[in-house]
Amino acid sequence: MVTLRILRTVRSALNNRQTILLHFWSTYTSPRSISLVSAAAEQLLCKLRSGHPQLVHKLVVASGFFSHDGADRAFWNGFANATLDVMPKELRDSYLEVAPDSENLQSMFDKAVQRTGTFKDIPEDKIRSITAPTLVVCGDADVMRPEHAVRQFRLLPHAQLAILPGTDHMKVTARTSWLAPMIAEFLDAK
């Protein structure tokens, strides 16, 4: 069962706290493809979803910005002069845990800073055009404002919303006891 295999992958990723996981597909040919995306992957996913909707059956979007007004200006400005020493420890540790070559940490960091620093807002009509059922997840103390998650939820025609209490950006994927059953129920729903 594809859903069960995906759920195991999600649980494994969440239990291993691989917060740098951007997205994955069950298979590109499966009619039940699913994506788990973070803020960094949402732009790519919107392009894929609008160009190849058959590849994305359901979405789980965790802390996924679609516009700059989803976070404080200081967050975006911080990428202008970001250095590796300000990288959150959780992200650094997650990368080093799974990276085949730890020497690539600086390169990964530089790419993430460049990608986030040049983020372009996704127009609301693009968000509205995503018809795949979507679970929008955000922490109540996330970098992405909960109001932004609510706005995203309202724009998506077939969305569900989960705002996790007492949860900052780095703890969203650590909430496995909450997320695993939510994601399982979402994936198994017809």
pLDDT confidence of residue 124: 92
* Residue whose C-alpha is closest to residue 19's, from 134, 151, 176: 176
pLDDT confidence of residue 2: 36
pLDDT confidence of residue 54: 63
* Residue whose C-alpha is closest to residue 162's, from 179, 142, 174: 179
Per-residue model confidence as pLDDT tens for the chain (190 residues) = 333 334 444 444 444 333 222 233 332 233 344 444 444 455 555 555 555 666 667 888 888 888 999 999 998 999 999 999 999 888 888 888 888 888 899 998 998 888 888 888 988 998 898 888 899 999 999 999 999 999 999 999 999 999 999 999 888 888 888 988 898 888 888 7
pLDDT confidence of residue 168: 93
Distance, CA of 159 to CA of 156 (rounded, Å): 6
Q: Taken in order 65, 68, 70, 71, is the CA torsion positive or negative?
A: positive
User: Which option is the CATH number for 2-188: 3.40.50.1820, 3.30.230.10, 3.40.50.300, 3.10.100.10?
Assistant: 3.40.50.1820
pLDDT confidence of residue 43: 53
pLDDT confidence of residue 47: 54
pLDDT confidence of residue 83: 94
pTM for the predicted model, two decimal places: 0.75
